[in-house]
Amino acid sequence: MEWIADPAAGAWLRTHLDPALNASMHAVVPRGFPAYARVFHPPAVRSLPDRAVPSPEEWERLSPEERDRLLDLFIDEPTTWRDAAHAFGTVLHPLAQWQSLVRTPPGDDWNLRLAPDGREFTGPDEGQLEPSRLSWIAEHLAAHTSTPDAGVAAIWGGWGGLLGHFGETSSRRFFAIGDDAPHHQEMLMRSIHDPFNNGFRKPSWQEGILSREISEGPKLELPAREHVLFSASARDFTDPSWVLRAPWRDLPAEEHGFAPSAYSPSILWPDDRAWVLVSEVDFDSTVVAGSAELVAALCADDRLEALPIPEGADLTWDADGVNAS
């Protein structure tokens, strides 16, 4: 995988996208493909053996000792949209939206919902696929292109810490190290907020995950989004260890003790353009545009939760007419 300095490699996408304010998915997902699959990102569920998860009000009434005992008993695990629909008495369908699926009252937090069966559901990640899930999808992608070893991965330039930039030193990423000592916190606050000296400092280059050459280089400009391009094929992602080979691997975070990680591609396509994978930053699902055979294979894979969707599908947060209250 290598940086592609010329963004013209992705210019063809513009002719297949709608204006940014269009309500359909085609502001980010190309039109013109025979079929489309929506791969749902997994939510998470927290449960307690033999009892319901306490409500926020109940939690506040517990003593610190009681809270510690309960925290040791919590079971956190990934789950499915179908399981959440069953828990909340709603319907999983191709255009379902999470906040409607979990019956979120107006103004409430849709990302954290307590189901009638006592389990606590956390909403799916937006814009990102975990490495193993991407590898499962990539297996199907590689089997449905004549160029499984050649393609392009586009990474959204707005991900935190990805690109370097000119700015104040205090604007760099902050890596929490878990020290709550008051004197240490006071020192951190002084280092971050120094209004007298900040006025005299000149902006300097703040390093990102990617090099300065790439950070300042040309980007692929699409409606409301800019992307950095890399040569990358479907086969490059069929093993979850692709993270270790990605040029955008987050090495600065690893230097602070974090496990190896890398953003999953925002857009991925092969040289023959047989399909396009889109993990839009504001979507809780990944959309794959391609052949009917590819979509059928994705939807039949038990490791994934995927459903076919029509061209022109509306995936905005209030588009779930089935589960709307």
| Whether residue 155 is found in the same domain as residue 49 | no
Classify residue 294: in a domain, yes or no: yes
**Residue 319 structure tokens:** 């588009």
* pLDDT value, residue 109: 83
* pLDDT value, residue 182: 46
* pLDDT value, residue 285: 95
The string of pLDDT tens digits covering residues 302-325 is 999 999 999 999 988 888 889 876
Mean pLDDT on 289-298: 98
Mean pLDDT on 274-294: 96
Q: Which H or E element spans position 71?
A: helix 64-73
CB-based contact 290:274 (threshold 8 Å): yes
Whether the pTM exceeds 0.85: the reply is no
* Domain total in the chain: 3
Band the pLDDT of 188: cuts 50, 70, 90.
Answer: very low
| Whether residue 239 is found in the same domain as residue 250 | yes
The string of pLDDT tens digits covering residues 256-282 is 888 999 999 999 999 999 999 999 998
Q: In this prediction, what percent of the chain has a pLDDT beyond 90?
A: 55
Residue in the block written with tokens 């513009």? 14
Mean pLDDT on 227-250: 94
Mean pLDDT on 212-228: 90
61's CB contacts (< 8 A; 6+ apart) are none
Classify residue 189: in a domain, yes or no: yes
| Whether residue 197 is found in the same domain as residue 290 | no
Q: What is the dihedral of CA 311, 316, 322, 323, to 10 degrees?
A: 150
Least confident range from 61-75, 91-105, 155-169: namely 61-75
Q: 88 by DSSP, 3-state: which?
A: helix
Classify residue 314: in a domain, yes or no: no
42: left (phi over 0), alpha (psi -120 to 50) or beta: beta
Domain that holds residue 140: 2-41+127-163+208-309
The string of pLDDT tens digits covering residues 2-38 is 999 999 999 999 999 988 766 689 999 999 999 999 9
| Whether residue 305 is found in the same domain as residue 223 | yes
Least confident range from 51-55, 190-194, 214-218: namely 190-194
CB-based contact 11:88 (threshold 8 Å): no
| Whether residue 213 is found in the same domain as residue 302 | yes
Strand pairing report for 151-156 and 267-270: antiparallel
